């Protein structure tokens, strides 16, 4: 007499029941013979190839299945944004929504305390005499000058610090129009602009003393490096190098110490480094160029003080990016979707969760490669320098329409000539 194991039976029936399109007859057949093939026969067509190597009744199978379902659901609901520069316009609309009733000169005067004042008057760019971070201002000014001839007279307050300046608060009726490169969704109300580092500045490390800068040039050098390491030639290992600007990064470093065959992750020095405690009780590692991230299949991205500048660069390697989903965004993040363009990593994920995610992608290489390719193609096709300029132009035109006054050239501002 054949006895059906109760745990496999219940698990199989439950999993099949949550897949759209699976008939009651399929459930019944699975339960009658307890066949391991019941899942493979009835999974959605888009992910059926992923089940072939699974032990259907193992603990790992249960964990993997939840990831497979998330991938399938993401594919079902995903709608690519337009291939032209309107891809990111939804972020402009969302950021400016709080100002739908207009921005008064009084409101702008209040905002001035939290950033650098810029004006575009008669197609010329003007700025406060002083700038806290000259290279950051230079990166911003490059793009302002690029689009100035298309912008009506306007003025805006730009935050060049790392940290956003506007907190969402029900207790305050006044929303200040302050432009920042990054913010945490639901926490900050800053207006996002493309970071200065698309042209100049960015993290200053020994490999790049003046910052990463020049996105157009960096794109080419990383893509060139990536050609040497197509997917099949990449090392089947996770990789991370960076300073300890957030303890959320600890888990991947600890996993690397436990299982060096699975991950190579180490902390480097930054300006605040004082002792080995700042690198999790280890000597700081040498910095590694972004181009030399390309030999690895899996690259990790975590927020630091704010959104991480490395994020967009990692995709160009054609590697699979693991991205911490903690709410920190730049203007282009919202159009990139978990399980479509990257593998989402919960904020503060423990070592065990990172291990599970890596085990999953290593056992599902085809799906991992497809996600990596979609991520690479998005950054390559939807985040060109032309897209950055287009975003600035649309942002400033839309913002300027909200001003309830016509700006006049203010005294003591300096002209910023186009270079």
Annotated catalytic residues are 162
| Residue written as token pair 């480097």 | 268
Which 3 state secondary structure label does DSSP give 123? coil
Q: What DSSP string runs through 224-275?
A: HHHHTS-GGGSEEEEEEEE--S-GGGHHHHHHHHH-TTTEEEEEB--TT--S
Q: Cβ distance 342 to 368 under 8 Å?
A: no
Q: How many helices (H) and strands (E) does the chain have?
A: 13, 13
Q: Cβ distance 156 to 179 under 8 Å?
A: yes
Distance separating alpha carbons of residues 193 and 181, to the nearest angstrom: 5
Q: Which residues pair with 320 in a beta bridge?
A: 298
Length of the chain: 419
Q: Cβ distance 241 to 289 under 8 Å?
A: no
Identify the CA nearest to 14 among candidates 47, 38, 49.
38
CB contact set of 40 (below 8 Å; sequence gap of 6+) = 48, 51, 52, 56
The conformation of residue 345, written as its DSSP 8-state character, comes to: E
CB contact set of 50 (below 8 Å; sequence gap of 6+) = 43, 68, 364, 366, 367
| Residue written as token pair 């500048």 | 309
Q: Helices in 112-195 by DSSP H: which ranges?
A: 134-147
């Amino acid at each position: 007499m054949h006895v059906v194991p109760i745990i496999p039976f219940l698990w199989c029936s439950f999993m099949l029941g949550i897949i759209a399109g699976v008939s009651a007859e399929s459930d019944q057949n699975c339960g009658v013979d307890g066949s391991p093939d019941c899942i493979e026969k009835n999974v959605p067509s888009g992910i059926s190839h992923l089940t072939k190597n699974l032990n259907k009744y193992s603990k790992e199978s249960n964990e993997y299945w939840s990831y497979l379902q998330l991938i399938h659901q993401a594919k079902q609901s995903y709608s690519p944004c337009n291939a032209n520069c309107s891809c990111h316009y939804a972020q402009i609309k969302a950021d400016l929504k709080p100002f739908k009733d207009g921005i008064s000169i009084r409101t702008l005067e209040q905002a001035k305390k939290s950033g650098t004042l810029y004006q575009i008057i008669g197609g010329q760019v003007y700025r406060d005499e002083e700038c806290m971070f000259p290279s950051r201002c230079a990166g911003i000014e490059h793009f302002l000058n690029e689009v100035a001839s298309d912008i009506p007279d306007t003025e805006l307050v730009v935050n060049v610090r790392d940290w956003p300046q506007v907190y969402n608060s029900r207790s305050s009726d006044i929303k200040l129009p302050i432009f920042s490169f990054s913010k945490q969704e639901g926490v900050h109300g800053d207006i996002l602009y493309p970071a200065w580092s698309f042209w100049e500045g960015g993290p200053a490390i020994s490999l790049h003393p003046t910052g990463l800068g020049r996105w157009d040039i960096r794109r080419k050098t990383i893509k060139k490096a990536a050609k040497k390491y197509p997917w099949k030639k990449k090392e089947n290992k996770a990789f991370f190098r960076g300073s300890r600007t957030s303890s959320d990064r600890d888990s991947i470093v600890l996993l690397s110490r436990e299982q060096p065959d699975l991950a190579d992750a180490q902390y480097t020095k930054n300006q605040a480094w004082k002792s080995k405690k700042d690198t999790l009780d280890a000597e700081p590692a040498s910095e590694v160029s972004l181009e030399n991230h390309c030999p690895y299949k899996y690259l990790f991205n975590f927020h630091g003080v704010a959104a991480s500048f490395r994020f967009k660069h990692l995709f160009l390697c054609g590697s699979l990016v693991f991205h911490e989903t903690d709410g920190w965004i730049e203007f282009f993040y919202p159009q990139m979707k978990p399980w479509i363009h990257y593998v989402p990593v919960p904020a503060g994920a423990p070592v065990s969760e990172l291990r599970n995610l890596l085990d999953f992608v290593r056992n599902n290489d085809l799906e991992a490669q497809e996600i990596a390719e979609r991520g690479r193609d998005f950054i390559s096709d939807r985040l060109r320098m032309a897209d950055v300029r287009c975003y600035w132009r649309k942002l400033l035109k839309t913002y300027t329409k909200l001003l309830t006054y016509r700006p006049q050239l203010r005294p003591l501002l300096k002209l910023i000539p186009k270079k």
